Amino acid sequence: MNTSEMTAKIAAGKGFIAALDQSGGSTPKALKGYGIEEGAWSNDEEMFGLIHQMRARIITSPAFTGDKVIGAILFERTMDGQVDGKPTPQALHDRGVVPFIKIDKGLEDEANGVQMMKPMPELDPLLARAKGLGVFGTKERSVINSANREGIAAIVKQQIEVGQQVLAAGLVPMLEPEINIKSATRAECDQILLEELTSQLSAMPGDAKVMLKLSLPVQPGLFDPLVDHPRVLRVVALSGGYKRPEACVELSKNRGIIASFSRALLEDLRAQMSDAEFDASLASAIDDIYKGSTQKVGVAATV
């Protein structure tokens, strides 16, 4: 797929984006969920080797194709690795899946109710390498824990600034100002984030589009203005700690928003499964998430 084909698929394709980007801190938890306990590796290289095997098994499964999975977000090591003897982004291209790369380096300590992204001094070389490997876009995560307008405005500003750096490198940024779904002021956070994104995206120089990866709002349909915003290519949703059935129900209530799930996609997969069991379990998860992304309930239009 060339850039225009990938853009068209992400802008209007039916399906969802798989998040396969667990990084250093979250890798042991992801492996434990997959049925591999912490004593199974003796160093980081072995740990990352095990998580790469899991991701390669997912990507090469017959269930994992561009018919329902339109994109996949990769961890940097996964992007630089190989699947089926090919660079991982090429393996995704061959399956009709658009590749993205996680670029953030973790979170700062909380201040003003939010956790900003840590500095990314090596971002430009990473973007150049990703572009050379056929990656389409990036993903960058920060977290909102409480309804502090100053903090939320700062998070949006940082997200857009990094997004502009990504655009300058010829990639499409996926801005992810995640709202903690356990926040006591979650509904207020939703409203402030909507206002800040709307105003700051409208003020963004140029005419290039970004993507948004958001927590599903308390009030279904609240983010409709972002779905329709002229500077937004696509809005995707994270599962945010919901189990898959609940995440898919909440997703189905929001017009124009598709999934970009990680835990909710992987939660039933186990290393000990036979290939037939693994493929069937993955196919079932993909079907559920595809349905939540494309069959909307109580809204006027479908994706």
* Catalytic positions, written as ranges: 176, 213
Gap between the Cα atoms of 286 and 210, Å rounded: 25
Q: How far is CA 90 from CA 31, 195, 217, 286, in A?
A: 25, 38, 35, 21
Gap between the Cα atoms of 189 and 175, Å rounded: 16
For residues 65-95, one letter each, b for 16 or more C-beta atoms within 10 angstroms of the residue's C-beta and e for the rest, the string is bbebbbbbbbbbbbbbbebeeebbbbbbbeb
Does an H or E element contain 115, and which? strand 114-115
Gap between the Cα atoms of 135 and 99, Å rounded: 5
Amino acid at 211: M
Gap between the Cα atoms of 78 and 88, Å rounded: 7
Gap between the Cα atoms of 246 and 250, Å rounded: 6
Map tokens 């356990």 to a residue.
182
Give 117's DSSP letter.
Answer: B
CB 181 within 8 A of CB 242: yes
Q: How far is CA 73 from CA 69, 86, 199, 263, 281, in A?
A: 11, 17, 27, 13, 20
Amino acid at 36: I
